[in-house]
Amino acid sequence: MTALTDRVAIVTGASSGIGRATARLFAREGARVVAAGRRRDELESLAAAIRAEGGEVAVLAGDVREEEHAAALVALALERFGGLDVAFNNAGAVGEMASVPALSLAAWREAIEVNLTSAFLAARHQVPALVARGGGSLIFTSSFVGYTVGMPGMGAYAAAKAGLIGLTQTLAAELGAQGVRVNALLPGGTDTPGARGSVGTPESRAFVEGLHALKRMAAPEEIARSALYLASEASSFTTGTALLADGGVSITRT
Ligand code: NAP
C-alpha cells in the first residue's frame, strides 16, 4: 500500500520543475494523475515517464488564468478516473521584476492572475468535486517570498503568494467540516528551470544558496515530498497551514 493508492490528483505546473517532480512522485505513490501546463510536448514526455513506471496519467494543456481550463481539469479527473481526492495547484511564475513604482499595471495584473486568481478559479471547480468525494486535500504552492522574506523587485509576486495564504486559511475554515484539508506549501529556493533565470551565474547562485541555512537550493524532488505529505494521510490533522520547506531561508541572518 502506497501513500496515494487509488487517489486521483490534479497537478498543475506539471510540465516543469516542482510540478513535474510531484506528478511523478504522486504517480509512484499510487495516484492517478491529471497533469497540466501549457506545453503539450512537456506534458507528453512526463506522461511517457509515468507510464514507463507503470503509473496512470492523463494530461491536459491549458492556461491556469482561464476558468474553462480549471473546469476542464476537474471534468477530466471525473471522467477518466471517477473522482478527485487531491489538487496540487502549483503553476506560477515570478514574471517581470521591477521596484514597485516602476512596475507596470499590466505586469502587476499578470502576476496576480497567474499566481493568485488561478488558485481561486481552481478552487471554485475543485471544491465541489472534493466535497462530493467526502473529503480530500487541496494544496497551493506559495513561497517564502512575501511571507517571511521581502525581496526587492518582487512586489506583485510576493503579494500574490501572500494572498494564497489568506485564501488557504479561508478555504480551510470553510471546508474542514466536510473533510477537505487545505494547505499552502512554501518552498525555498529550488533548482528548477523557472528559478534558473534568477540564478543564471555562479555568483548569483552562490548568493541564493548562501541565503539558506542549508547553504544550497532544494532539488524539485525534495519539495515534491512535502507536497506528498500534505496530499496524504500523513498530514491528516493538518489544515490551514503555511508549510515552509525552505532550507531555513526564513531564519538565516548569516
Ligand atoms: P517552473 O520550472 O518555471 O515551472 C512552472 C510551471 O508552471 C510550469 O509547468 C509552467 O508550465 C506552469 N505555468 C506557468 N504559468 C502558467 C500558466 N499561465 N498557465 C498554466 N501553467 C503555467 O517553476 P517552479 O520553480 O517549478 O515553480 C513551481 C511553483 O513553485 C510556482 O508557483 C513558483 O512560484 C513556486 N516557487 C518556486 C520556487 C523556486 O525557487 N523554484 C520557490 C518558491 C516558490 P508551462 O510553461 O508549460 O505553461
Report yes or no on 254 lying in a domain: no
Report yes or no on 80 lying in a domain: yes
Report yes or no on 32 lying in a domain: yes
In this structure, what CATH number is given to the domain that contains residue 199? 3.40.50.720
Q: Is the pTM of this model over 0.75?
A: yes
Decide: 95 in ligand 1 pocket, CB within 6 A: no
Ligand 1: centre distance to CA 167 (Å): 19
Domain that holds residue 238: 8-245
Residue 209, all three cell numbers? 544558496
Q: Which residues pair with 56 in a beta bridge?
A: 32
d(CA 75, CA 60): 11
Q: Please state, in angstroms and as integers, the Cα–Cα distance from residue 231 to each residue in 136, 140, 155, 164, 218, following that order.
A: 8, 11, 29, 17, 20
Per the structure, how many domains does the chain have?
Answer: 1
**Residue labelled with grid coordinates 507596470:** 104
d(CA 240, CA 207): 32
Report yes or no on 1 lying in a domain: no
Among 45-49, 243-247, 250-254, the least confident range: 250-254
DSSP-assigned letter for residue 240: S
Report yes or no on 105 lying in a domain: yes
pLDDT of amino acid 197: 81
Report yes or no on 253 lying in a domain: no
Q: Nearest CA to 95 among 164, 156, 24?
A: 156
Report yes or no on 250 lying in a domain: no
Q: Which of 144, 157, 218, 235 is catalytic?
A: 157
Which of 38, 110, 207 for mutating ligand 1's site (highest number of atoms within 8 Å of CB)? 38
Gyration radius from the chain CA atoms = 17
User: Each residue of 148-201: pLDDT tens digit?
Assistant: 999 999 999 999 999 999 999 999 999 999 999 999 999 999 999 999 888 889
